[in-house]
A and B are shown apart, each in its own frame.
Chain A
Amino acid sequence: MLEIKDLHASVEEKEILKGIDLKVNAGEVHAIMGPNGSGKSTLANVLAGRPEYRVTGGEALYEGKDLLAMAPETRAREGVFLAFQYPVELPGVNNTTFLRTALNEGRKYRGQPELSAGAFLALLKKKMQLVEMADTLLSRAVNEGFSGGEKKRNEILQMAVLEPRLAILDETDSGLDIDALRIVANSVNKLRSKENAIILVTHYQRLLNYIVPDFVHVLYNGKIVKSGGKELALELEEKGYDSVRQEEIAAK
């Protein structure tokens, strides 16, 4: 589904990603862990097409197509979804209107008929139950005045509505209380399928108890320095990034 080869990217002339290789197949869940500032969000944003990040080398193929050549909205309509580490507030923009617009843009792109207001509300209601979100958040402006946890949950609601093929969740677990974490993890698990793939960026092994990944990668200073199965997350938790990296260097 996604194949990243030797990807380099900079922001404001500073190189952040220094050659990333990653292959994600349909049905897989990949966890990406790594210290603060190592480039996890940068990778997520580059894949989503954030204009501030400049790709300086390498490529990313999504379903065989050149992902990096697509406009950000095209990537989204093609099924790439980014749950933001810091969701943006959109004062005055109604959450429901926003969600319906987003869904219908994708449907138009895929040649499907747009959903009427009624059909959309019915769908939305189901998705709300899935993520156990309060109705009151729907009538409000997107993320405006939402608590940190509510914003994260709103990201997952958007994911549930848009049903992306490739979802990149950037630290969706941070800022969530224990119950919310379980609910979010459950919703993500329900959205998991043979056709979809998920990339989870996280700092905490705890999330991976709920959403069990097929692969774990360690991103360190702009490079993936180690990859493994779900046990790698436990090892990281035990030993810390530095020693894992030292071992890796020694092994080479």
Chain B
Amino acid sequence: MSNSELTVEKLANEEYKYGFVTDIETDKLPKGLNEDVIKLISEKKNEPGWMTDWRLKAYRHWLTMKEPHWSNVKYGPIDYQDIIYYAAPKKKPKLSSLNEADPQLVKAFEKLGIPLEEQKRLAGVAVDAVFDSVSVATTFKEKLNDLGIIFCSMSEALQKYPELVRKYLGTVVPYTDNFFASLNSAVFSDGSFAFVPKGVRCPMELSTYFRINASETGQFERTLIVAEEGAYVSYLEGCTAPIRDTNQLHAAVVELVALDNAEIKYSTVQNWYPGDKDGKGGIYNFVTKRGACRGVSSKISWTQVETGSAITWKYPSCILQGDNSVGEFYSVAMTNNMQQADTGTKMIHIGKNTRSTIISKGISAGRSNNSYRGQVRITSKAENARNYSQCDSLLIGDKCGAHTFPYLETNNPTAQVEHEATTSKIGADQIFYLNQRGISTEDAVRLIVNGYCKEVFRQLPMEFAVEATRLLSMSLEGSVG
């Protein structure tokens, strides 16, 4: 075995650093799912009747569905009756500022390296912190209020702006969409709601830090972002989770709606607990994210850096309905140890002159498996649609796998579609070259990987790019030369 392989083995044994459980008293429902549980969730949240009905319809539909197993990931059966579907902090705080927040909670955020106090001062980031399914702190509300921007938890939105929620909820991801989306529709606990009215550019990044905390609580977030005509918003989602013994299911739904000339940027840095080096105890992340470019010349751009989860199953997509609308997908998916990721995107071209760009960077290390699954569909009415896809895979070591599954469906002869794919390895000669300039193997791997991901990192807001680099470096501790 060469030196560099030894280093790899050594690094590979490092464990997840963010594992800790915060001890906040939690109010939870007993395990299991039935119509009563759903009614109870809805009741606890004091929801309007139509919402309860919608949840029940989703539940009944879900009962008729089967868990999908078409993706390139393997996992044991999930017992849906063994999950707690609702947990809320007992001290339900109504806060105008962070100072009133549970000190334990603030400490938890500090452990994550994202003290909200700091964030308030930093670069105008308003944070809607979702902690175990219920939002406990929302900042910068007034400033947003003045502009007519709504940014709050989904529960609050259902109380204050029920008609607005009703108008858009489920219009991009209907409750019948897929197994996990249906389940989410039935039981979603909370999430974020953002609404930017006509002609308003949201002056700050809207940001939510998600965190799974209560033991064995499945997390079902529901996020809805609407940008009216000519509006602009950039939304940041970031997360990390404590160490767990049993696998935790996470099935979120995110819906984006962009009307005429509106633009939505949605950035994710995801770092959930991937499990130990044998894959035990990690998060199962089955997410449905979809954006509708409903208006002319609207634009939706997804940027994601994925480093966590035992299993990731996620395809942020764009439906390009409006003429001249634009969809973008920039992704870095990194897997290590026993992690499995099956991610990608769908670009559905419906309007004329619609354009989409897909830049996907997969990084596999350890014994992990990383699959890219991308679908580009050009419908018959989409005159002059264009797509450019680039899917690169980087292998670190020789026990991991990378797979690319591009699906292309063109029903209009004027379409221009370009697809490029590369697979590369970090070579021992590259590592040695950097070593010879005084750079350690760990740093050498980081330099190469950061270089490889540059096109995606460039899309992230500055502070987030720094965080992404840090997370990636952390996940790379356990990689090869």
Contact = CB atoms under 8 A, between A and B. Distances in A.
B24 interface: no
Contact of B435 (A72, A106, A162): A72
In the complex, which range does the number of interface residues on chain A fall in?
A: 20 to 34
Contact of B438 (A77, A90, A91, A141): A77
B448 A93 contact: yes
B435 A90 contact: no
B447 A93 contact: yes
Interface in A62-77: 71-73, 75-77
A218 B249 CA distance: 68
Nearest to B3: A51
A101 B454 CA distance: 17
Interface in B140-168: none
Interface in B432-481: 432-441, 443, 447-448, 450-454
Contact of B452 (A92, A101, A158): A92
B437 A51 contact: no
A88 B430 CA distance: 6
A158 B447 contact: no
Interface in B392-438: 424, 427-430, 432-438
A158 to B, nearest CB: 7
A72 B436 contact: yes
A92 B453 CA distance: 8
A215 interface: no
A173 B434 CA distance: 22
A84 B434 CA distance: 12
A137 to B, nearest CB: 16
Interface string A47-68: 0111110000000000000000
B317 to A, nearest CB: 27
Nearest to A76: B438
Contact of A141 (B424, B441, B451): B451
Query: Considering residues A49, A82, A91, which has the most beta carbons from chain B within 10 angstroms of its beta carbon?
Result: A91
Given A51-B4, A88-B427, A98-B447, A158 B437 contact: yes
B64 interface: no
A221 interface: no
Nearest to A108: B438
B440 A73 contact: yes
A25 to B, nearest CB: 23
Contacts of A77: 438
A87 interface: yes
Query: Considering residues A48, A73, A77, which has the most beta carbons from chain B within 10 angstroms of its beta carbon?
Result: A73
A94 interface: yes
A88 B438 contact: no
A147 interface: no
A76 B437 contact: yes
Interface string A102-133: 10011001000000000000000000000000
Query: Considering residues B428, B438, B447, B454, which has the most beta carbons from chain A within 10 angstroms of its beta carbon?
Result: B438
Given A51-B3, A93-B448, A88 B439 contact: no
A98 B430 CA distance: 12
A189 interface: no
B111 to A, nearest CB: 28
Nearest to B429: A88
Contacts of A49: 435-436
Nearest to B6: A51
A101 B439 contact: yes
Given A51-B428, A52-B428, A88-B429, A82 B454 contact: no
Contact of A98 (B2, B437, B452): B437
A73 B433 contact: no
Contact of A102 (B4, B430, B432, B437): B437
Nearest to A79: B438
A72 B2 CA distance: 13
B331 to A, nearest CB: 16
A19 to B, nearest CB: 24
Contacts of A94: 451
Contacts of A90: 430, 433-434, 447-448, 451
A49 to B, nearest CB: 7
A97 interface: yes
Interface string B13-52: 0000000000000000000000000000000000000000
A7 to B, nearest CB: 19
B433 A88 contact: yes
Contacts of B448: 90, 92-93
A29 to B, nearest CB: 21
B452 A82 contact: no
Contacts of B436: 48-49, 72-73, 75-76, 81-82, 84
A158 B439 CA distance: 13
A92 B443 CA distance: 15
Nearest to A99: B437
Nearest to A78: B438
A105 B451 contact: no
A102 B428 CA distance: 18
A143 B441 CA distance: 19
Query: Considering residues B428, B440, B443, B451, which has the most beta carbons from chain A within 10 angstroms of its beta carbon?
Result: B451
A43 to B, nearest CB: 15
Contacts of A97: 447
A105 B443 CA distance: 10
Contacts of B451: 90-94, 141
Nearest to A48: B436
Contacts of B430: 88, 90
Given A87-B433, A91-B451, A92-B454, A51 B439 contact: no
A13 B101 CA distance: 66
Interface string A148-187: 0000000000100010000000000000000000000000
A47 B452 CA distance: 30
Nearest to A98: B447
Given A48-B436, A77-B438, A109-B438, 17 more contacts: A52-B428, A72-B435, A73-B435, A76-B435, A76-B438, A81-B436, A82-B436, A90-B433, A91-B452, A93-B447, A93-B451, A98-B434, A101-B439, A101-B447, A105-B440, A141-B451, A158-B437
Interface of B: 2-4, 424, 427-430, 432-441, 443, 447-448, 450-454
7 contacts: A73-B435, A73-B436, A73-B440, A91-B452, A92-B452, A93-B448, A93-B451
